[in-house]
């Protein structure tokens, strides 16, 4: 199960940014700013109403530095039921007032207290239960799940009216509250990891005390694994809400069936080494020499369940076998903290940040970077992320260290970390994504690194950026060719230039020159002049989307290698590409959509 999303601090003015940054540090959140008024936010948005409503409907915690009345009116159309509301807090621009508006018992009150405490200001808590009893019965703390939230309103009404309450079970957060406890109280609060049917004035809390240990054959059936887990819980009479995690051996960190079970119960998956599972040998009920010979421990399902609940826990249900899977349940005396528990399956996000500017970076990439513990990349690319790097472990690499960069990223993910491998432009175009999969294919990383989860997120490429700045040169068929012969023999590059010239493609040349390599671009120019006119437009685009951006349009016949550097992408038009000069003096480049000699004006509909 993914970690909860970070709170979002929403601001509409530049003057609110310093306070937003302080709140982000306090809460671990991220700053979203109106692009027309704010620079330096983690994420920009065009219109505040749809952005706030989208955050709310996605269940994100919202801390808006704006008037509470305006915030209420903006969110009013998407308000539904109390139980579905995420925390929404209005914060005055001077930080003096912190007002939880919605989701008070879903974390807003606690979040408001946290912010106000750090800012040394006032949290305007108005919910009766918090004020009178010091506890929110419909929002239990981490480690507990309220099984019947629909009955919370009736119970709270009785308590506010003055009736007493009986506690059935143990929970420190209840015992230390100001609730009026009595042995014969008409209201009952039950704490149990068993399935139970509550009475009308009873609230049932399930503590996260159970761990499902599982073993699986390679490519086990997910449905079989889920069915076995459900069968085991039912056999013990245990509540699924009390499951804290699924646990297994690290050799199975990439086993789809295990992750399907974890997703089915909405719990995280944690993995242990064979040595850690073998340390539970004396507590196993069904040790197996066959299993030991295969994976290095005498039991995976039971061993993982026991390792996860720790020495103070015990095996609640011994191993059961299904088709290709085994399962057991471990039980702790108190709710479990999953963070120290084993190791998560590591994640590697391979992200393209575009040219580097915030406006040209996708929201998905920003979220991936924000969710990462470690960032890896060329130093310039990491610097371009600005505030997003705060609180992350940076691993800076020089240019020319591409394979070392990728191996390091994969190995860190193999340790259970969430890592972003940061590329400029698009991660899959002359960038690091291909190296990741090449290492999977050919080897070169550890077994742990081969079991990581990988997600590739696209970015705006230099080709797209140059085309957008220049007009529409990619209106018809195009290709890209790298002129670097470090990894590709020069003879192969020459053949591709020749073929692209014969095919009359618009061509984007990446890596056109370097300090030591000055002749390849001149060769490409001369080769293409055999196939297209000397006045064919050529776009020279440098530092697009970054300070120092320049864009020049020159005829192919006048292309001078000395006008191009390592940060320039060169786009050569086809024989059909045209320039059009506007009344304001600006020149645009476009390539008509119609084929040469075809009747019409280029406005040809696609089939």
pLDDT class of 565 with cuts at 50, 70, 90: confident
Q: pLDDT tens-digit profile of 472-491?
A: 999 999 999 999 988 899 99
Answer yes or no: are the C-beta atoms of 485 and 512 closer than 8 Å: no
Q: pLDDT tens-digit profile of 364-417?
A: 998 899 889 999 999 989 998 887 887 799 999 988 788 999 999 999 999 999
Domains of the chain from N-terminus onward: 8-126 (3.40.50.11220), 144-207 (no CATH), 210-331 (3.30.420.180), 347-460 (3.40.1010.10), 463-590 (3.30.950.10)
Question: What's the pLDDT at 128?
Answer: 56
- Is the pLDDT at 607 greater than 70? The verdict is no
Q: Walk across the sheet containing 314-321 and list its strands.
A: 269-272, 243-249, 210-216, 325-331, 314-321
Q: What is the DSSP letter of 335?
A: -
- Is the pLDDT at 606 greater than 80? The verdict is no
Among 590, 587, 588, CA closest to 576? 590
Q: Could you tell me whether strands 453-457 and 347-352 are parallel, antiparallel, or unpaired per DSSP bridges?
A: parallel
C-alpha to C-alpha distance for 269 and 262, rounded to whole angstroms: 6
Least confident segment among 119-128, 185-194, 467-476: 119-128
Whole-number Cα distances in Å, 574 to 506, 589, 601:
5, 11, 17
- Is the pLDDT at 599 greater than 50? The verdict is no
pLDDT class of 269 with cuts at 50, 70, 90: very high
Mean pLDDT of 345-351: 97
Q: pLDDT tens-digit profile of 513-552?
A: 887 788 999 999 999 999 999 999 999 998 887 778 899 9
Residues 6 or more apart whose CB falls under 8 angstroms from that of 487 comprise none
Mean pLDDT of 343-350: 96
C-alpha to C-alpha distance for 410 and 436, rounded to whole angstroms: 8
Q: pLDDT tens-digit profile of 144-201?
A: 999 998 898 888 888 888 899 999 999 999 998 889 999 899 999 999 999 999 999 9
User: What average pLDDT does the chain have?
Assistant: 90
> Which comes out higher in pLDDT, residue 171 or 58?
171
Least confident segment among 110-114, 129-133, 354-358: 129-133
- Is the pLDDT at 110 greater than 90? The verdict is no
Question: What's the pLDDT at 86?
Answer: 87
- Is the pLDDT at 595 greater than 90? The verdict is no
Q: pLDDT tens-digit profile of 549-558?
A: 899 999 999 9
Question: What's the pLDDT at 370?
Answer: 85
Mean pLDDT of 9-23: 94
Whole-number Cα distances in Å, 401 to 12, 95, 378, 383, 483:
41, 46, 9, 17, 19
Question: What's the pLDDT at 83?
Answer: 59
Question: What's the pLDDT at 341?
Answer: 82
Mean pLDDT of 340-357: 90
Question: What's the pLDDT at 282?
Answer: 96
> Which comes out higher in pLDDT, residue 85 or 327?
327
C-alpha to C-alpha distance for 570 and 513, rounded to whole angstroms: 10
- Is the pLDDT at 17 greater than 90? The verdict is yes
> By percentage, how much of the chain surpasses pLDDT 70?
95
């Amino acid at each position: 199960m993914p970690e909860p999303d970070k709170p979002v601090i929403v601001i509409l003015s530049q003057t609110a940014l310093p306070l937003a940054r302080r709140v982000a540090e306090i809460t671990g959140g991220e700053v979203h700013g109106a692009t027309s008024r704010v620079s330096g936010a983690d994420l920009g948005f065009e219109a505040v109403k749809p952005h706030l409503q989208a955050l709310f409907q996605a269940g994100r915690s919202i801390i808006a530095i704006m008037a509470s009345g305006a915030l209420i009116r903006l969110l009013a159309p998407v308000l539904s039921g109390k139980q579905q509301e995420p925390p929404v807090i209005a914060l005055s621009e001077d930080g003096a007032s912190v007002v939880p508006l919605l989701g008070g018992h879903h974390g807003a009150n606690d979040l408001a207290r946290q912010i106000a405490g750090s800012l040394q200001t006032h949290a305007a808590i108005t919910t009766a239960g918090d004020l009178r009893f010091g506890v929110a019965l419909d929002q239990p703390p981490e480690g507990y799940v309220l099984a019947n939230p629909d009955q919370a309103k009736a119970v709270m009404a009785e308590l506010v009216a003055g009736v007493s309450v009986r506690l059935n079970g143990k929970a420190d957060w209840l015992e230390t509250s100001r609730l009026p406890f009595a042995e014969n109280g008409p209201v009952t609060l039950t704490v149990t990891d068993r399935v139970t049917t509550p009475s009308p004035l009873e609230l049932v809390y399930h503590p996260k005390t159970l761990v499902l240990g599982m073993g699986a054959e390679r490519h086990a059936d997910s449905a079989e694994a889920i069915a076995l887990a459900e069968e085991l819980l039912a056999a013990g009479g245990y509540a699924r809400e009390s499951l804290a995690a699924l646990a297994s051996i690290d050799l199975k960190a990439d086993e789809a069936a295990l992750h399907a079970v974890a997703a089915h119960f909405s719990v995280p998956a944690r993995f242990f080494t064979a040595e850690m599972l073998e340390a539970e040998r004396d507590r196993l009920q069904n040790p197996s020499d066959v299993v030991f010979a295969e994976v290095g421990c005498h039991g995976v399902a039971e061993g993982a369940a026991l390792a996860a609940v720790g020495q103070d826990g015990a095996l609640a249900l011994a191993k059961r076998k299904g088709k290709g899977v085994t399962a057991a349940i471990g039980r702790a005396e108190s709710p479990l903290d999953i963070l120290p528990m084993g190791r998560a399956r590591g994640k590697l996000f391979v992200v393209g940040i575009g040219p580097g500017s915030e406006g040209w970076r996708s929201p998905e990439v920003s979220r991936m970077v924000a969710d990462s513990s470690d960032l890896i990349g060329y130093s310039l690319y990491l610097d371009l992320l600005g505030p997003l790097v705060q609180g992350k472990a940076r691993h800076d690499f020089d240019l020319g260290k591409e394979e070392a960069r990728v191996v390091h990223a994969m190995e860190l993910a193999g340790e259970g970390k969430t890592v972003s491998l940061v590329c400029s432009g698009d991660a899959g175009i002359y960038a690091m994504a291909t190296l990741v999969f090449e290492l999977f294919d050919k080897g070169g990383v550890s077994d742990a690194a081969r079991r990581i989860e990988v997600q590739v997120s696209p970015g705006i490429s230099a080709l797209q950026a140059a085309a957008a700045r220049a007009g529409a040169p990619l209106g018809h068929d195009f290709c890209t060719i790298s002129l670097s012969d470090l990894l590709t023999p020069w003879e192969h590059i020459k053949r591709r230039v020749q073929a692209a010239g014969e095919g009359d493609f618009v061509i984007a040349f990446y890596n056109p020159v370097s300090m030591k390599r000055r002749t390849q671009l001149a060769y490409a120019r001369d080769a293409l002049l055999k196939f297209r006119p000397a006045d064919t437009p050529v776009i020279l685009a440098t530092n697009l989307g970054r300070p120092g951006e320049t864009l020049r349009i020159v005829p192919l016949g006048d292309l001078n290698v000395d006008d191009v550097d390592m940060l320039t992408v060169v786009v050569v038009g086809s024989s059909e590409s045209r320039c059009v000069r506007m009344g304001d003096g600006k020149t645009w480049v476009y390539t008509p959509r119609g084929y040469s000699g075809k009747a019409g004006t280029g406005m040809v509909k696609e089939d």
